[in-house]
């Protein structure tokens, strides 16, 4: 029996063994034929003017909170509090970098004054609702300056992978470290290392957005030191079934690269294998013996060249 093979980004038919149709265009598209009804057509992805509304849906806080219901933020925050209280007793202020929709702040706000930084305005709006006394700022984690420091800075749920390259990893960790007060701590939950990343196992998440259901079917590939997640969303509303797709690229950093990024930022880091949800945790504190902006040792430089595109 002949099987058709599809581009994992846009579902165009491709030759056997291929994942990508090679098209440069925005791959956000739909399998569904555009409807003759202009209103339905507007909501169907791939019908020209809907590319931005598709982005809006994919980047919406509603989708984020619907899809990640498997995460136990309450338990993670209990673990985080135990860690913070042991690391930096008397902690009052926390900055959560790449804070998403503020799910951690929801459980931490009773105990600390917690602010957040994220690139996505829809997520920030949700975070402000969950934690009205927090200061939420739209900024790039690789380059931001809030002109103040915190007792603890966090960057959770593997958001650090967004840095993608080693140079940007150094920039992000240095930027976060600058926001940690002397004696404070920087806590980063990593993404997978190159050795841990085994692509090709598809997985499905299901959630509810408003009156509709959303299925997210994901596949993954590896390109050099990047993990690529190909997400396909099917959103069923009472009126329609819509299809969206998105490609997410996350850097795969080794433990040495992570440790070096902390050292580069003037911090000494230790690694906790279990962490909050089994992905491990880097815990950094300023080390007065380490000068910021060190020259990379040769073994790290080799890795940096490999990881930098």
Ligand X SMILES: C[S@@+](CC[C@H](N)C(=O)[O-])C[C@H]1O[C@@H](n2cnc3c(N)ncnc32)[C@H](O)[C@@H]1O
Considering only 107, 123, 150, 262, the residue that binds ligand X (CB under 6 A) is: 123
Considering only 152, 156, 176, 228, the residue that binds ligand X (CB under 6 A) is: 156
Q: Which is nearer to ligand X, 162 or 300 (CB)?
A: 162
Q: Which is nearer to ligand X, 156 or 307 (CB)?
A: 156
Query: Number of residues in contact with ligand X, rule: CB under 6 A?
Result: 16
Considering only 45, 77, 159, 187, the residue that binds ligand X (CB under 6 A) is: 159
Does residue 157 belong to the site contacting ligand X (CB under 6 A)?
Answer: yes
Q: Would you give the distance in Å from CA 181 to the centre of its chain?
A: 25
CA distance 290 to 83: 24
Name the minimum Å distance from CB 231 to ligand X: 12
Name the minimum Å distance from CB 98 to ligand X: 3
Question: Candidates 81-89, 155-163, 179-187, 211-219 — which segment interacts with ligand X by CB under 6 A?
Answer: 155-163
Name the minimum Å distance from CB 289 to ligand X: 30
Name the minimum Å distance from CB 31 to ligand X: 27
- For residue 143, the 8-state DSSP code is B
Q: Which is nearer to ligand X, 7 or 80 (CB)?
A: 80
- How many other C-beta atoms lie within 10 A of the C-beta of residue 238? 7
* One character per residue 223-262, x = contact with ligand X (rule: CB under 6 A): ----------------------------------------
Question: Candidates 44-52, 156-164, 202-210, 228-236 — which segment interacts with ligand X by CB under 6 A?
Answer: 156-164
Show the beta-strand stretches assigned E in 120-239. Answer: 136-138, 150-155, 180-188, 203-209, 212-223, 226-237
Q: Which is nearer to ligand X, 144 or 260 (CB)?
A: 144
Q: 95 near 146, Cβ under 8 Å?
A: yes
- As given in the structure block, the two tokens for residue 142 are 């690789």
* One character per residue 92-121, x = contact with ligand X (rule: CB under 6 A): ------xxx--xx-------------xxx-
Q: Which is nearer to ligand X, 31 or 158 (CB)?
A: 158
Q: Which is nearer to ligand X, 61 or 269 (CB)?
A: 61
Cα dihedral sign, 158-160-162-166 = negative
CB under 8 Å, gap of 24 or more: what pairs does 75-81 form? 76/104, 76/156, 76/276, 76/277, 77/104, 77/107, 77/108, 78/107, 79/276, 80/104, 80/108, 80/154, 80/187, 80/276, 81/108, 81/111
CA distance 220 to 11: 15
Q: Which is nearer to ligand X, 7 or 171 (CB)?
A: 171
CA distance 8 to 248: 12
Residues of the shown chain interacting with ligand X in the complex, contacts defined by CB under 6 A = 98-100, 103-104, 118-120, 123, 140-141, 156-159, 162
């Amino acid at each position: 029996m002949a099987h058709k093979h599809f581009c994992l980004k846009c579902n165009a038919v491709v030759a056997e063994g291929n994942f990508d149709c090679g098209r440069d265009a925005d791959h956000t598209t739909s399998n569904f034929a555009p409807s003759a009804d202009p209103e339905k057509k507007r909501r169907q992805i791939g019908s020209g003017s809907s590319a931005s509304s598709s982005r809006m849906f994919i980047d919406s806080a509603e989708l984020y909170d619907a899809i990640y219901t498997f995460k136990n933020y309450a338990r993670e925050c209990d673990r985080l509090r135990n860690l913070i209280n042991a690391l930096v007793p008397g902690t009052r202020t926390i900055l959560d970098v790449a804070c998403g929709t503020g799910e951690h702040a929801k459980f931490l706000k009773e105990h600390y004054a917690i602010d957040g930084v994220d690139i996505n305005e829809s997520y920030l709006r949700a975070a402000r609702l969950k934690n009205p006394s927090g200061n939420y700022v739209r900024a790039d984690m690789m380059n931001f300056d809030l002109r103040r420091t915190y007792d603890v800075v966090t960057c959770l749920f593997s958001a650090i992978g967004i840095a993608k390259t080693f140079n940007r990893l150094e920039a992000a960790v240095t930027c976060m470290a600058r926001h940690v007060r002397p004696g404070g701590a920087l806590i980063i939950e990593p993404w997978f290392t190159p050795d841990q990343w085994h692509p090709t196992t598809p997985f499905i998440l299901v959630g509810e957005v408003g009156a509709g259901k959303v299925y997210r079917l994901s596949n993954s590939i590896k390109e050099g030191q990047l993990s690529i997640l190909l997400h396909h969303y099917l959103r069923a509303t009472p009126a329609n079934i819509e299809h969206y797709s998105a490609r997410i690229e996350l850097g795969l950093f080794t433990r040495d690269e992570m440790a070096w990024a902390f050292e580069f930022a003037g911090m000494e880091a230790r690694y906790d294998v279990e962490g909050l949800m089994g992905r491990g945790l880097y815990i950094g504190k300023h080390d007065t013996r380490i000068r910021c902006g060190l020259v990379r040792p040769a073994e790290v430089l080799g890795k940096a060249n490999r990881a930098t595109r």
